[in-house]
Amino acid sequence: MKILVTGGAGYIGSHACLELLEAGYEVIVIDNLSNSKEESLTRVQELTDKELKFYKADLLDREALDKVFKEQAIDAVMHFAGLKAVGESVSMPLGYYHNNITGTLMLCEAMKKHGVRDLVFSSSATVYGDPDRVPITEDFPLRATNPYGQTKLMIEQILQDLHVADDSFNIAILRYFNPIGAHKSGRIGEDPNGIPNNLVPYITQVASGKMRELRVFGDDYPTPDGTGVRDYIHVVDLVLGHLKALDKLQTNPGVVIYNLGTGQGYSVLEMVDAFSKVVGKPIPYKVTDRRQGDIPTCFADPTKAKKELSWTATMGLTQMCEDSWRWQSNNPDGY
């Protein structure tokens, strides 16, 4: 089977390419490299000793997209391409709406035109906003608190409407909780541009001496130690959920929605502690004000994915920290 991976050079996409190749799929990647480097794909091919086909192209470029679908007999699409920085989305809403939504529309049009009907989409736990309770099940009310989250909500709606109009489309909407970690080789991983927004890349950069100290955004939340609680999931577990979703699409399920999380929440201070142990030295931090828009607690109920996809996350916190740290220490300046 030939799988088109949009955003395949990025953090999660590159791990997906690797697992797809390992599982015997043929892989075609489209990425405009706006937030990634082609080196990730070179390394994926080295690690698997298999080849993939890379098109440096933008989803907004209709002709380029058409060319890919014409040249390749694509069976299914995994759609990772998108801009993902919450803060940036607040200051650049038009850019985010255009890239994420128009990009997805172009992709769906190309799929329709070329008779490709199976799609796995990267959504996010951000669509639950600040949930009334935890753990979060897929039927919770949806709300977005920033333009990035709005793009995910809108795309989910667009994909459902697409299926209503043409029920030959099969679509898996996967709501990720907090992906961290890296492939065990330490050769591919998350390579943020500039100062990291997210907790784990920030911690690993503090541990490696690139950043002086971590700022803990608030310790007065209604959580056991006052710091924010999240459901961190190993990126390899996460992408294995995509392979299971791909299998599910072969049963013509229509639109299916799954949380991909572990079901276990950890606080910021628990993460700091876990990393200190793995790194073998304390991670310096100071508590600062809350970050605007953050919620106290977010973790998944992953039961539905377990039942319907036979998927469950298997890697624990120590392994996530070890793998994040191996990537960071072997690649202090990223790719």
Q: Which of residues 184-223 bind ligand UFG (CB under 6 A)?
A: 197-199, 202, 214-217
Task: Catalogue the active-site residues.
Answer: 148
Minimum CB distance to ligand NAD smaller for 123 or for 267: 123
The Cα 56–Cα 302 span in angstroms is 35
| Residue 262 interacts with ligand UFG (CB under 6 A): yes or no | no
State the minimum distance, in angstroms, from the CB of residue 102 to ligand NAD: 8
Helical spans, DSSP H, in 5-125: 11-22, 39-48, 62-71, 86-91, 93-96, 103-113
Nearer Cβ to ligand UFG (61/294): 294
Cβ closer to ligand UFG: 68 or 274? 274
Q: Are 275 and 191 in contact (CB under 8 A)?
A: no
CB 261 within 8 A of CB 234: no
86 binds, among ligand NAD, ligand UFG, none (CB under 5 to 8 A by kind): ligand UFG
**Binding flag, residue 143, ligand UFG (CB under 6 A):** no
**Which is nearest to 147 in space by CA: 133, 126, 167, 161?**
126
Output 160 or 287, the one with its CB closest to ligand NAD. 160
Q: Which among ligand UFG, ligand NAD, none contacts residue 302 (Cβ within 5 to 8 A by kind)? A: none
> Which of residues 88 and 167 has its CB atom nearest to ligand NAD in the complex?
88
Q: How many residues does the chain have?
A: 335
Shortest distance in whole angstroms from residue 258 CB to ligand NAD: 13
Tell the burial category of 67 from Cβ atoms under 10 Å away from its Cβ (0-12, 13-18, 19+). middle
Query: Which residue, 99 or 259, has its beta carbon nearer to ligand NAD?
Result: 99
CB of residue 111 to ligand UFG, shortest distance in Å = 25
Does 147 participate in binding ligand UFG (rule CB under 6 A)?
no
Specify whether the backbone of 144 is left (phi greater than 0), alpha (psi in -120 to 50) or beta.
beta
Closest CA relative to residue 117, chosen from 155, 66, 169: 169
Q: How far is the CB of 329 from ligand UFG (least distance, A)?
A: 19
Alpha-carbon distances of 278 from 46, 138, 265, 332, rounded to whole Å: 27, 34, 19, 17
- Cα 257 from chain centre: 15
Residue in 37, 163, 291, 306 binding ligand UFG, rule: CB under 6 A:
291
Interface ranges with ligand NAD (CB under 6 A): 7, 9-13, 30-36, 58-60, 80-84, 99, 103, 122, 124, 176, 178-179
Tell me the three state secondary structure of residue 276: helix
Nearest distance from residue 10's CB to ligand UFG, in Å? 13
Contact pick of 176, 258, 266, 325 for ligand UFG (by CB under 6 A): 176
Residue 322 has φ and ψ, to the nearest 5°, of -60, -45
Cα separation, 25 vs 247, in Å, equals: 12
Interacting residue ranges for ligand UFG, rule: CB under 6 A: 84, 86, 124-126, 176-178, 197-199, 202, 214-217, 228, 230, 268, 291, 294
